[in-house]
């Protein structure tokens, strides 16, 4: 049996092998390597201290200059070529506030039905056509406007716009589709009645604004949805969809000339029909809100959905920016006074927030939370204490104002991170007739807010008397807690209808 023979040379790197052979043969030695000069290592960071933040890089959204089509449709174009996508939104400034009395949800139903058959295509055929293109379609009804939109690949934009144009201009409103979608929306409304937070929102709007402007949710409630007929839908379509005051937002990978050409091609035929009378929003009910506590009974609920609110100014209020800063301190951020009180100190809730809901004609300021049902009364007491203290014993400090301004400004670019977000921000300009440079000036307006302006907001918000209280929770547990608040309790169902005591 032969023993295996190993070759050392095969196991050595070539450089080592050459040096070994040279030494064995008496040849020259391998050159000696020199150690490079050592350099001083950079100092280690001081881990005992938090790192200082880097300097803030100012950022502002550029102005968007609109142009107008021959039919009067205003087009807002913003080019962004980072991705091969295009987002398009059509905004018509007639929304849920135009619903006839007793028919809340009509505009939302009509807008929902636009893609349930249009341009000779059925609902299924339209859906399949969008799928083949990789395009998503959406339709939204807000208080002041309706919005139709698509998100499309840039190379599939034209056929996507053709579909959107058919939905806008050639809906069929088949009777069976009207019945089907009305029934589905009524069923959804019924399911929503089991959610205390939804009931709170419905009752809050009804209490603040009654049945006038802003008084009912855009989707309506079961009692109003069930009344809607196909003739109502056809009449609302004629009364809402027209180019008067409408805007088209086009953002993404297309230049201005292309945007103009496509807008004229696919939306130039959007025109008022002969004899068309456009509907106007409902008038604001001047009747003051009914004071007291407005309760929706949810037997067995472990949480109460609470809110306290008061009417405020609309979208173009002169105190818009000071209120942003004030609200950030009070309840608009995680580190706000109300959230730290109810969540961190008391443990009553997972989170509490405050803020303004603003529409074109009016708005409201509210503080709300989902709280443990056994702490419902205490939570409301703490909220009112914070509102009052901000005007009296714990006035907002310059440090809080600076933290609020910094938080608002640092978070501002995040509102424009995606193409859909940019489209939404530009759509707000169109919806509320804001100047093209409104976003560009926003950072300067926030930075200019003074302590005196914030104190004025706190003084106004600290007037407790005008606030109404809405609670959706277990009446048996909540009612005894409310005695300490000294307010009359009014009962409602989840659709916002007042009930007998």
pLDDT of residue 50: 86
How far is 185 from 356, CA to CA, in rounded Å?
Answer: 28
How far is 338 from 107, CA to CA, in rounded Å?
Answer: 37
Helix (H) or strand (E) holding 492: strand 489-492
Token pair for 201: 């929102």
pLDDT of residue 37: 59
| End-to-end C-alpha distance for the chain, whole angstroms | 109
How far is 95 from 114, CA to CA, in rounded Å?
Answer: 15
Q: What angle do CA 165, 171, 172 make, to 5 degrees?
A: 155
Q: Are 150 and 266 in contact (CB under 8 A)?
A: no
Q: Between the CA atoms of 129, 132, 135 and 137, what dihedral angle is there, to the nearest 10 degrees?
A: 30
SS3 470: strand
Helix (H), strand (E) counts: the chain: 18, 13
Q: How do the pLDDT tens digits run along the chain, 501 residues long? A: 444 444 444 444 444 444 434 444 444 554 555 555 566 788 888 888 888 877 777 788 888 889 999 999 999 999 998 999 999 999 999 999 999 999 999 999 999 999 999 999 999 999 999 999 999 999 999 999 999 999 999 999 999 999 999 999 999 999 999 999 999 999 999 999 999 999 999 999 999 999 999 999 999 999 999 999 999 999 999 999 999 999 999 999 999 999 999 999 999 999 877 778 889 999 999 999 999 999 999 999 999 999 999 999 999 899 999 999 999 999 999 999 999 999 999 999 999 999 999 999 899 999 999 999 999 999 999 999 999 999 999 999 999 999 999 999 999 999 999 999 999 999 999 999 999 999 999 999 999 999 999 999 999 999 999 999 999 999 999 999 999 898 999 999 999 999 987
Note the Cα 465 to chain centre separation in Å: 30
Q: Which domains does the chain have, with CATH numbers?
A: 67-267 (3.30.830.10), 293-499 (3.30.830.10)
Token pair for 303: 């949480």
Residue position matching structure tokens 């300490």: 484
Residue 300 φ then ψ, to 5°: 85, -5
pLDDT of residue 35: 56
How far is 278 from 245, CA to CA, in rounded Å?
Answer: 11
């Amino acid at each position: 049996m032969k023993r295996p023979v190993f070759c050392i040379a095969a196991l050595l790197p070539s450089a080592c092998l050459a040096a070994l052979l040279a030494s064995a043969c008496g040849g020259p030695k391998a050159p000696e390597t020199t150690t490079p000069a050592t350099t001083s290592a950079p100092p280690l960071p001081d881990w005992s201290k938090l790192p200082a933040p880097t300097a803030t890089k100012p950022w502002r959204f550029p102005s968007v200059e609109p142009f107008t089509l021959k039919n009067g449709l205003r087009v807002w174009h913003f080019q962004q070529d980072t991705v091969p996508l295009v987002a398009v939104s059509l905004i018509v400034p007639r929304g849920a506030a135009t619903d006839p009395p007793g028919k809340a949800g009509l505009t939302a139903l009509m807008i929902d039905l636009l893609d349930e058959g249009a341009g000779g295509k059925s609902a299924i055929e339209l859906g399949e056509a969008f799928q083949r293109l990789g395009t998503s379609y959406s339709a939204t009804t807000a208080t002041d406007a309706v919005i139709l939109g698509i998100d499309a690949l840039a190379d599939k934009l034209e056929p996507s716009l053709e579909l959107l144009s058919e939905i806008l201009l050639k809906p069929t409103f088949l009777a069976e589709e009207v019945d089907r979608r009305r029934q589905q929306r009524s069923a959804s409304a019924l399911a929503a009645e089991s959610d205390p937070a939804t009931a709170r929102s419905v009752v809050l709007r009804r209490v603040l604004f009654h049945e006038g402007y802003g008084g009912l949710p855009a989707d309506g409630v079961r009692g109003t949805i069930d009344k809607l007929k196909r003739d109502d839908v056809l009449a609302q379509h004629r009364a809402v969809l027209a180019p008067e005051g409408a805007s088209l937002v086009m953002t993404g990978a297309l230049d201005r000339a292309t945007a103009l050409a496509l807008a004229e091609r696919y939306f130039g035929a959007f025109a008022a029909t002969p004899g068309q009378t456009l509907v106007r929003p409902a008038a604001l009910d001047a009747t003051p809100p009914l004071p007291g506590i407005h309760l929706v009974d949810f037997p067995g609920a472990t949480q109460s959905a609470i809110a306290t609110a008061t009417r405020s100014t609309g979208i173009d209020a002169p105190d818009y920016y000071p209120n942003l800063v004030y609200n950030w301190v009070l309840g608009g951020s995680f580190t706000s006074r109300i959230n730290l009180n109810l969540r961190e100190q008391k443990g009553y809730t997972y989170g509490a927030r405050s803020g303004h809901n603003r529409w074109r004609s009016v708005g409201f300021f509210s503080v709300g939370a989902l709280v443990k049902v056994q702490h419902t009364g205490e939570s409301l007491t703490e909220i009112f204490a914070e509102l009052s203290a901000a005007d009296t014993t714990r006035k907002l400090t310059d440090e809080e104002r600076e933290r609020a301004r910094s938080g608002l400004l640092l978070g501002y670019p995040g509102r424009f991170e995606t193409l859909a977000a940019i489209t939404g921000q530009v759509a707000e300009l169109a919806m509320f007739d804001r100047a093209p440079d409104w976003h560009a000036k926003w950072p300067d307006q926030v930075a200019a807010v003074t302590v005196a302006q914030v104190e004025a907001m706190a003084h106004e918000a600290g007037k407790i008397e005008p606030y109404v209280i809405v609670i959706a929770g277990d009446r048996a547990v909540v009612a005894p807690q409310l005695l300490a608040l000294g307010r009359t309790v009014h009962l409602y169902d989840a659709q916002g209808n007042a009930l007998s005591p």
